[in-house]
Every structure is written in C-alpha cells, then in structure tokens.
Amino acid sequence: PITEMITGEDLLKWQLRIASGEPLTLRQRDITPAGHAIECRINAEDPARDFAPSPGRIEAFVAPGGPAVRWDSHIYQGYVVPPTYDSLLGKLIVHRRTRDEAVNTMRRALSEFVIYPTKTTVSLCRDILNHQAFRKGRCNTAFIEREIVPSMQ
C-alpha cells in the first residue's frame, strides 16, 4: 500500500495484467514518488500483555476515514476473530505531502478507531507516533523495544 500511495500506481492491477500476458509498459523512469505515506498494521493483540492474542467477537467497529486515509481490511462489526489465526485485522495507510502532515493525519485516524472489546495494536501505534524520537525521525530497529515496550509495563 505504501508504494501505491506515493506513486499512484495500482500494483495489483499491474500484477494481474502481467500474469495474463500483457507487457509491462511502465518504466521506472515513468514513476515519480510524491509525498509521504505511513502504514500502521492493526493486529488483534494486546501490547500490554506481551502481545497476547485477542480472539472473540468484535461488538463495536468504526474505521477511520477522510481525505488521504485508506483502510484495507476484512473485518466488520460482528466479525469473530478466531483463536487460531493470523492476528492482522487490517492496514491503516495515510498519504500526505509532508512527513509531519502524514504523522498528524495518522494520529487523527488512529484516534477515530473503535474496535471493541478486542484488544488491538492501535494504542501501540499511537504511542509510537506520539514519541518525540519518532516525530524527529530518530528511530532504528531497536526503537520499539528500547523506548515503547518499557512504558507499557
């Protein structure tokens, strides 16, 4: 989704065209990335309990929306998250002109989520986006373990 958002190209459409024998007419030089995109993967897991699974019926569900916000998912109000499953509920993607705009739009979108009573990674995503190191672009692969996980315990 990130590549699609910043290039405006539908990658699945291209994959299907190529798989059906059509030539790839798009060249790398024809693609111009624009803006900044952020993706949050929303999982049925409880970050405060070492990411324990959170199966069960979703009794209340409202997905965020608005300009530059995309929600790719299969869930709905009444959906039952099975106890043996891939925990991914969906991907929340935003695309804006600047990184700061993308971060602020994602923060707003995350604040609009309603998924109840299922525990999700929405709060973890909020914590990451609100952290000064993330806001300043000073993160590495140890960021979550070093900065976010200790504050959850």
- In tens, the pLDDT along 93-111 reads 999 999 999 999 999 999 9
Cα–Cα distance, 65 to 82 (Å, whole number): 26
pTM of the model: 0.89
| Complete domains list, the chain, with CATH | 1-34 (no CATH), 35-151 (3.30.470.20)
Cα–Cα distance, 25 to 70 (Å, whole number): 27
- The pairing of beta strand 80-81 with beta strand 56-57: antiparallel
Q: Name the β-bridge partners of 129.
A: none
What sign does the dihedral 40-41-46-50 (CA atoms) show?
Answer: negative
Q: For 48, which DSSP code?
A: G
* pLDDT bracket for residue 79 (50, 70, 90): very high
Reading phi first (left if > 0) and then psi (alpha if -120 to 50, else beta), residue 66 is in: left
Mean of all residue pLDDT scores within the chain: 94
